[in-house]
Chains A and B, each alone.
Chain A
Amino acid sequence: MLEIEIDGKQAQVPAGSTIMDAAQLLGAYIPHFCYHKKLSIAANCRMCLVQVEKAPKPLPACATPVTNGMKVFTHSELAIKAQKGVMEFLLINHPLDCPICDQGGECQLQDLAVGYGGGASRYQEAKRVVFHKEVGPLISMQEMSRCIHCTRCVRFGQEIAGIMELGMANRNMHSEIQTFVGRSVDSELSGNMIDLCPVGALTSKPFRYSARSWELARRRSISPHDSLGANLTVQVKGNKVMRVLPRENEDVNECWISDKDRFSYEALNSPERLSKPVIRVDGALREVEWNVALDYVSHALKDIAQNHGGEAIAALASPHSTLEELHLLQKLTRALGSGSVDFRPHRRDFSADGKRAGTPWLGMKLSEIKDLDAALVVGSFLRKDHPLFAQRLRQLARKGGKVSLLSVTADDSSINVHARLTVSPAELVLALGGVVKAAARQKGVAVPSGLELVEPCASGKAIAESLLQGEGEKGKRAIFMGNVAEQHPQATQLHALALELAKLTGASVGFVGEAANSVGGYVAKALPTALDGYEMFAQPCKAYLLLGIDPEIDCHNPQQAVAALKQSALVVSLSSFKSGAALDYADVLLPIAPFAETSGTFVNAEGRVQSFNGVVRPLGDSRPGWKVLRVLGNVLALPGFDYDSSEQVRDEILPEGGVFVAGLDNGLDSGLSDLTLAPGAAASGLQRIADVPIHFADPLVRRAPALQQTRDAALPAARMSAATLAQQGVAAGSQVRVKQAQGEALLLAVADETVPAGCVRVAAAHASTAALGDMFGAISVERA
């Protein structure tokens, strides 16, 4: 520890600390622009100059290491003079038109200029003009003359997002922040640069000039999208969500959010919002009052239960639903006599159900990722599926942690990976088996039975090696199962192999989980005892209750789902939006309030319970989902549906309270016993690889206009390697007919060497591919 004194106050700081670190510890404020605690030190703005005893010149606090006994003066004459000098330089070329700047009122330069700026300018020359740049739908670079060249945005790209999308071109006072000639900013974390920019140079395109910061009320919320559960500040004016910003929580999202978290609020006011209950009368949909709609639903459900038995009813919820909604849905369904309830529409293999030792989860705290020595991610479109989880792994790799990827495409992860193994979906189990075998051999123990025929490849060996390093120190290595690993037709085999690998290496096993309540759904027991989320469509039912989901897009096999819904006698959809398909198959549409308009709880990947309140009133006649289900329970005269608040519902599920849910355990009761892996047994024909693109993944993002204009929301294509294209006799850039089961889609063929041989990557979750079948499985491609 080193002793330091700042403005007379003493502190002890660890070696390697800077004066800025020490000042923050002491609560002493040193003005700064380029410094940011999560970014590397650039020391370029020079605003933080302070006086250090015995130093002839003022020194930058952000970059000057503390030495023992150092005495620092942040407000001495020398320091103030230096700070004022820098402020003058920053302002000479800065447009001093704060009243018409979008950043006005929340600008660091404006704030500090009040304290350190002069009353009048000594600069009488023409000011610099910097041309605007066009970089995509999310970030506005209209006002680049305001840039103060702090390079926070540049460093963010290099260090946090993992891709340097902005750079400082040219030199001297003509230095400009820009993208690489003509490119747009496409990172899934790009919006954070808006927050980082201390001035009004980078602003939010959807938000700019729609409100002043001081007009906005700040409310807390939780992201309804991926499984990280990013903490949000939702800014509201009147009854409208104007903007979403990160709310700092070092243990969860640090100070970041993904673009999806940030810009999805635009969908809250989508023209597709369902604002009144709708029922089908004589084939036509008609808006009705709530009591009419609920009576209708209640009668129809009772009829079906009476005539066909309760088990003819199936319920499917989105994993983005709140814990309360999921609980009430399963409670209602069970009360109606059906065990066919699920919240995992993307899943194919449910054989682990009933064998699970507990609630599947990440296997560790998010904040523990940084301490790992090695990590293996199995089956994931990592960056796009889990932007901030990927960011944590990126930081781990930057610090020397060995991050390996085993997946079905070689997408750019922007992570400096240790080893990477990319195989077709059909070979995924075999490949993981190879890693297990390599680990057993390297450790010198018996190879688990069933793996006799597997031969590990070089990458598999390298992965095993990284997971074995430092074996014995428990919990320093991890295996993470991504979305593909869970959606895969042999998900349970993958799960069992991961457990085996964990047993051999001492690594932990975790599921990253695809959605805000991927853990919460298990906690709420929205789980089947009869038909699961796939089978309920494979074996059509008489009635369907849908919660927050567009099955024609959100299911593992959308074609099969739509067919089942169409033949059924009753489809009741509790939804915030009206989709074209639902207007076709649904008999009742009940408008429920999306995130921001309802209270509820999400349990994130690490099992963290995060409850939130509505921040605006529900739109039109829509109502929070938990209330709708409660009243429906009442109308159906089912017992136990008398709740006054969503908290009461939550407390029924989580009576013990606590920050983390209990019973988290990724174990499986049966091991590898019935598994025999044989190379070559894999499917021979062309296989489909389906990703769920980041901005199609849930009903909200699908309808957020700015997000829909990003490159991540580009139309799905049939992507395959040049060799596969040639094999199929189709040319890149041509239209192809892609067929699966009874369905087909017309898509553009695109050459993509990240796709393994013999595979075609065709995204799910999009209307243009909704006519296709399973996410993974046989597919054919022919010239259109």
Chain B
Amino acid sequence: MAILGAINPMLSLGLDGDNAWRLADYVKRGGYSALKRILAEKMPQEQVINEVKKSVLRGRGGAGFPTGLKWSFMPRSFPGEKYVVCNSDEGEPGTFKDRDILRYNPHSVIEGMAIAAYAMSATRGYNYIHGEVWEIYTRFEEALDEARAAGLLGENILGSGFNFDLFAHHGYGAYICGEETALLESIEGKKGQPRFKPPFPASFGLYGKPTTINNTETFGSIPFIMSLGGEHFLEAGKENNGGTKLFSVSGHVNKPGNYEIPLGTPFSTLLEMAGGMRGGRKLKGCIPGGSSSPVVPGEIMMGCTMDYDSIAKAGSMLGSGAVIIMDESTCMVKALERLSFFYYEESCGQCTPCREGTNWLYKVVHRIENGQGRPDDLDLLASVTANIMGRTICALGDAASMPVQSFIKHYRDEFAYHIEHKKCLVPLEVQRAGSGFFKATV
């Protein structure tokens, strides 16, 4: 993948494919000026956090939680070690933006983390990188070496007396390690399983110390907020949805890839940037924020703008910004079967409703898809998702349930047809024609 297009970009501005990731390039783009200024001015921590609050930067990892507010929860004056942790685990199906940020603009994340550490009195940071993108990990290590050599990391950064060490840590590909507390367990060398919250990481985080975890893109946006000013950043987006955001567009479009656009940009614009619908087919549905977010029917989606509030109003979530496009050749039962398989597979197995329930969901959807559906299966699925939702340790239980609920809600006829006729409503040859893998031979 690559960053294929942008409107008023920040993170992807001035990038030249693989040729502009080095420290010198980043500095040429104005990089590290924010950190340097903060250190030189000995800017009060409160002021940094306020600037982030003003920007209304919302967490790019999935939940969209306001970053400035999260930072203000850190007990800055608490004695002893404190940590900032970057979540580059990026396991959410459909999401592939963080790897591009780390590949093409790694120093923006390093600078963002250093500023975060300064603002929250943290002296150590970790960047947890998804295990299946090894070259990203080595790229980030190289960038770290550059930053250390330039005195931008380590002891007494730029003579300011501020110390911050940053390390890369690679996972092994478990989706659950993207959940922030499972990620902390994994860094600690334990099995990646979410912790029960409370206590929250801000009070009991990595090695039991106060910790703030943000997404790669969240950290990457910080230098822009600090150099342009919070208000400017906010204005670059839309009210309550500050800044630009990277969207990973995939599925039935002509130009799948990453696109940076201001929050609030119409979905139709994004779709156009991505080359429009493949084969000119009709948009059947869109999963707008990664596989965990509820599916939105095509016609509703066409009326949305790409920001947290608009997508929420459409009954879904902007999530990580992974936009999965499905055209009319898609069998929604098969699509759900694949998603349900994912969540069943990736459940950490710790808590009862998720461990048992996700497998049950998958088995039932699988059965329906394979012509073994029963008349009361849709009610059963509804009831099982209701028994999972809100009763688990982490949000994976909800993430597994929402696709099931939304698919059945919006495409109930298709499921009912499948159960009754033991085959897809969308004819097989149509599916094959649209898939891009099978050339239509039937």
Residues of A within 8 A of B (CB): 41-47, 49, 56-58, 60, 63, 65, 82, 85-86, 88-90, 92-93, 122-125, 148-149, 151, 167-168, 170-175
Find chain A residues with CB under 8 A from B351 CB: 43-46
Query: Which of B80-88, B159-167, B358-366 lies at the interface with chain A?
Result: B358-366
| Min C-beta distance of B323 to chain A, whole Å | 27
Judge whether B198 and A65 touch: CB under 8 Å. Answer: yes
Please give the distance in Å from A620's CB to the nearest CB on chain B.
52
Residues in A with CB closer than 8 Å to B367 are 125
Whole-angstrom distance between the alpha carbons of A28 and B357 in the complex?
29
The CA-CA distance from A88 to B356 in the complex, in Å, is 9
Smallest CB gap from B358: residue in A:
A172
Asked if B391 is an interface residue, CB under 8 A from chain A, the answer is yes
Q: Binary interface profile of B, 373-386, with partner A (CB < 8 Å = 1, else 0)?
A: 01000001000001
Q: Is the CB of A86 within 8 A of B391?
A: yes
Q: Assuming A92-B360, A122-B380, A125-B360, is B355 touching A173 (CB within 8 A)?
A: yes
Q: Which residue of A lies closest to B387 (CB)?
A: A85
Task: Flag if A44 contacts B350 (CB, 8 Å).
Answer: yes
Q: 9 nearest interchain CB pairs?
A: A175-B349, A85-B387, A57-B390, A89-B356, A43-B196, A173-B359, A172-B347, A171-B349, A125-B363
Give the dominant DSSP class at A's interface.
loop
Chain A residues whose CB sits within 8 angstroms of the CB of B326 once the complex forms: none
Chain B nearest CB from A144 CB (Å) reads 14
Residues of B within 8 A of A45 (CB): 351-352
CA distance A107 to B89 in the complex (A): 41
- Known contacts A86-B352, A89-B352, A90-B352; A172 and B387 CB within 8 A of each other: no
- In the complex, A44→B350 CA distance in Å? 6
- Contacts A89-B352, A125-B367 supplied; 15 other A-B pairs, CB < 8 Å: A42-B196, A46-B351, A46-B353, A47-B352, A65-B198, A86-B352, A89-B360, A90-B352, A122-B380, A123-B360, A168-B191, A171-B348, A172-B349, A172-B358, A173-B358
Residue in B348, B350, B392 with the greatest tally of chain A CB atoms within 10 Å: B350
User: Contact between B347 and A173 (Cβ–Cβ < 8 Å)?
Assistant: yes
Q: Is the CB of A173 within 8 A of B196?
A: no
Is B49 an interface residue, CB under 8 A from the partner?
no
Interface string of B309-340 (1 = CB under 8 A from A): 00000000000000000000000000000000
Q: In whole Å, how far is B7's beta carbon from the nearest beta carbon of chain A?
A: 38
Residues of chain B contacted by A151 (CB below 8 angstroms): 350
- Asked whether B390 lies within 8 Å of A85 as measured between CB atoms, the reply is no
Chain A residues, Cβ within 8 Å of B363: 125
B387 contact set on A, CB distance < 8 A? 82, 85-86, 88-89
The size of the chain B interface, using a CB distance under 8 A, is: 32
Q: A138 CA to B72 CA in the complex, in Å?
A: 53
> Can you name the residue of chain B whose Cβ is closest to the Cβ of A62?
B196
Whether B352 lies near A149 (C-beta < 8 A) is: yes
Q: Is the CB of A148 within 8 A of B352?
A: yes
Question: In the assembled complex, which residues on chain B have CB atoms less than 8 Å from the CB atom of A171?
Answer: 174, 176, 346-349
Contacts of B140 in A (CB 8 A): none
Q: Please name all residues of chain B whose beta carbon is closer than 8 Å to the beta carbon of A174 when the two chains form the complex.
A: 349
> B380 contacts which chain A residues (CB < 8 A)?
122
Q: How far is the CA of A41 from the CA of B353 in the complex (A)?
A: 18
Q: Which one of B198, B345, B355, B386 lies within 8 Å of A175 (CB-CB)?
A: B355
| Set of chain A residues within 8 Å of B392, measured between Cβ atoms | 46
- A85 near B360 (CB under 8 angstroms)? no
Contacts of A90 in B (CB 8 A): 352, 356
Contact of A41 among B196, B350, B364, B390 (CB under 8 A): B196
Residue of A nearest to B347 (CB): A172
Q: With an 8 A cutoff between CB atoms, is B393 at the interface?
A: yes
Whether A172 contacts B390 by the Cβ 8 Å rule is no
Q: Which residues of B contact A93 (CB under 8 A)?
A: 356
Name the distance in Å between A419's Cβ and chain B's nearest Cβ.
23
Q: How distant is B391 from chain A, measured CB to nearest CB, in Å?
A: 6
- Find out whether the CB atom of A58 lies under 8 angstroms from the CB atom of B390: yes
Taking CB as reference atom, which chain A residue is nearest B367? Answer: A125
Q: When the two chains form their complex, are residues A49 and B352 in contact, meaning their CB atoms are under 8 A apart? A: no
Q: Which residue from chain B places its CB closest to the CB of A176 in the assembled complex?
A: B349
Question: Which residue of chain A has the shortest Cβ distance to B355 in the bound complex?
Answer: A173
- Bound CA–CA A65/B197 (angstroms): 10
Instruction: Please name the residue on chain A nearest to B348 by beta carbon.
Output: A171
Report 27 cross-chain contacts, Cβ distance below 8 Å, ordered by A residue: A41-B196, A42-B196, A43-B351, A43-B393, A44-B350, A44-B351, A44-B352, A46-B391, A57-B390, A57-B391, A58-B390, A65-B198, A82-B387, A85-B353, A85-B386, A89-B352, A89-B357, A90-B356, A123-B360, A125-B363, A125-B364, A125-B367, A151-B350, A170-B349, A172-B345, A173-B344, A175-B350
B438 CB → nearest A CB, Å: 30
- Min Cβ gap A63→B in Å is 5
A124 to B372, CA, bound (A): 12
Q: Which residues of B contact A172 (CB under 8 A)?
A: 344-349, 355, 358-359
Bound-state CA distance A86–B355 (Å) is 11
How many angstroms from the CA of A24 to the CA of B344 in the assembled complex? 36
Q: Is the CB of A60 within 8 A of B196?
A: yes
Q: How far is the CA of A121 from the CA of B174 in the complex (A)?
A: 32
Q: Which residue of chain B lies nearest to A150 when distances are taken between CB atoms in the complex? A: B352
> Which chain A positions have C-beta within 8 A of B174?
171
A173/B356 in contact, CB under 8 A: yes
Closest to A58 in B: B391
Contact A49-B391, Cβ < 8 Å, known A171-B347, A173-B347: yes
Residues of B within 8 A of A58 (CB): 390-391
CA of A173 to CA of B351, assembled, Å = 10
CA distance A148 to B353 in the complex (A): 12
Q: Which residues of chain B come closer than 8 Å to A88, judged between CB atoms?
A: 387
Nearest CB on B from A410, distance (A): 24
State how many angstroms separate the Cβ of B167 from the closest Cβ of chain A. 25
Q: With the chains together, A670 CA to B174 CA distance in Å?
A: 67
Q: What CA separation (Å) do A25 and B391 show in the bound complex?
A: 25
**Complex formed: what's the CA distance from A88 to B348 in Å?**
19
Q: How far is the CA of A41 from the CA of B387 in the complex (A)?
A: 22
Q: Which residue of B lies closest to A81 (CB)?
A: B387
Whole-angstrom distance between the alpha carbons of A151 and B352 in the complex? Answer: 12
Q: Which residues of A contact B348 (CB under 8 A)?
A: 171-172, 175
In the assembled complex, the Cα of A209 lies from the Cα of B439 at a distance in Å of 62
Bound CA span A125–B361, Å: 11
Residues 62 to 85 of chain B near chain A (Cβ within 8 Å): none
Q: Are A46 and B352 interface neighbours, CB within 8 A?
A: yes
Minimum CB–CB distance for B181 against chain A, Å: 12
* A64–chain B nearest beta-carbon distance, Å: 8
Q: Which residues of A contact B386 (CB under 8 A)?
A: 85
Q: A42, A151, A171 — which one has the most chain B CB atoms within 10 A of its CB?
A: A171
What is the CB-to-nearest-CB distance from A77 to chain B, in angstroms, rounded to a whole number? 14
- A80, chain B: closest CB distance, angstroms: 13
A-contact bits for B27-68, CB 8 A (1 contact / 0 none): 000000000000000000000000000000000000000000
CA distance A127 to B350 in the complex (A): 18
Q: Which residues of A contact B355 (CB under 8 A)?
A: 89, 149, 172-173, 175
Q: Contact between A82 and B391 (Cβ–Cβ < 8 Å)? A: yes
What is the CB-to-nearest-CB distance from A76 to chain B, in angstroms, rounded to a whole number?
15
Question: Which residues of chain A have C-beta atoms less than 8 A from B357's C-beta?
Answer: 89
A85 to B176, CA, bound (A): 24
Distance from A629 Cβ to chain B, minimum over Cβ atoms (Å): 58
Closest B residue to A93 using CB positions:
B356
A90 to B345, CA, bound (A): 18
For residue B350, give the distance in angstroms from its CB to the closest CB of chain A.
5
Contact pick for B349, options A86, A89, A92, A149, CB 8 Å: A149
Q: Which residues of A contact B196 (CB under 8 A)?
A: 41-43, 60, 63
Task: List the B side residues contacting A124 at CB < 8 Å.
Answer: 374
- Is A173's CB under 8 angstroms from B353's CB? no
A179 smallest CB distance to B (angstroms): 15
The chain A residue sitting closest to B363, CB to CB, is A125
- By beta carbon, the residue of chain B nearest A82 is B391
Residue ID in chain A nearest B389 by CB atoms: A57
Residues of A within 8 A of B352 (CB): 44-47, 86, 89-90, 148-149
How distant is B175 from chain A, measured CB to nearest CB, in Å?
10
**Distance of A175 Cα from B353 Cα, bound (Å):** 14
